[in-house]
Amino acid sequence: MAKHKGRGWHSRLLAAGLGVTALAAATSVWSAQADPTGGRQPEARPQEQAVTKVGADIAHASDGGPRGVNITIDDGPDPVWTPQVLQLLKDSGVKATFCMVGTQAKAYPDLVKKVVADGHRLCDHTVSHDTAMDTKSEAYQSQQILDAERMITEASGGVRPQYYRAPGGAFTPYSRKLAASRGMRPLGWNVDTKDFEHPGVDTMVDTVKREIPNGPTILFHDAGGERSETLAALREVLPWLKEQGYSFGFPVR
C-alpha cells in the first residue's frame, strides 16, 4: 500500500489533533492497564458493548464473496462532502465503510450518527491522521488509536468502529495487534483512486476499472479538500461495477 504524502490539510489536522491528544493523555476516560504488548489498554466500562478480538492481519477481502466490492471513504466526516456522499450511496443502494478521523468525528457527531443510521460501518482512522505513525512510539500509537476509538464511539451514540485503517498505510505490528484486541480489524485497500491529488474524474474511473482485478477494497475520501471529483467518479464507478456483476459488501472481519 502506497503512503500518502504531501497533504497539507493533514498537517494542519495533525497540529490540532496533537493538542487533543495531549489533553486526552491527562484526562482520557480510558484507564491504563498492562497488556501483553506493553502499551495501554482501556478498562471496559460497565455500559460498554462487549469487545470481541479479531484477526490482526490486514484485511482486503470482502464479505460479499468473490464478486464482492468494498467501498471505503476516508478522513471525514466533513459537513460539506459527507452528506453528498451519503446521498449518492443511498440513491445507488450501496453501503460503505467510513474511516473517520477522531477530531472530525468529535466535531460532527450528527454526521457520524447519520452514517450509522444509513447502514454503513465505522472505521478508526486515528485522532489526527499522522502518516508517520509507524515511526513513533508505541505509547503514541496507542493514544492515537484508542482516543480516536473513544471519540468515534461517543459521536456515534455508542456504536464502535469495526475496523482500523492506519493513515497512509502506516501500520506496525503493535498497532495491528492493539486494534485487533479492541475488535477493530486492520483494514487495507487494493485500489487507490488518489482522489486527494485531484487527478481528474476520467483518471479515477480508469484506475478503478484497471485495478479492481487486484482486489475488492476501493479507497475514496470525503474530507481533506474539495471532493466534487470524488462524487463524479463514484457516480460513474458504482453503476459500472454493478454492470460488471459486482455486488457491494463490507471488509471481512
User: Which positions are catalytic?
Assistant: 74, 221
Q: How far is the C-alpha of 125 from the C-alpha of 101, rounded, in Å?
A: 5
For the beta carbon of residue 225, count every other beta carbon within 10 angstroms. 17
Tell me the three cell numbers of residue 16. Answer: 490540532
Helices (H), the chain: 8-27, 81-92, 102-107, 109-117, 138-156, 173-181, 201-211, 228-243
Q: How far is the C-alpha of 101 from the C-alpha of 103, rounded, in Å?
A: 6
Q: Where are the beta strands (DSSP E) in 17-61?
A: none
Residues 6 or more apart whose Cβ sits within 8 Å of residue 131: 3, 4, 5, 7, 10, 167, 168, 170
Exposed (0-12), middle (13-18) or buried (19+): which is 34, by Cβ within 10 Å?
A: exposed
Q: Please give the DSSP secondary-structure letter assigned to residue 168.
A: G
* CA 79 to chain centroid: 17
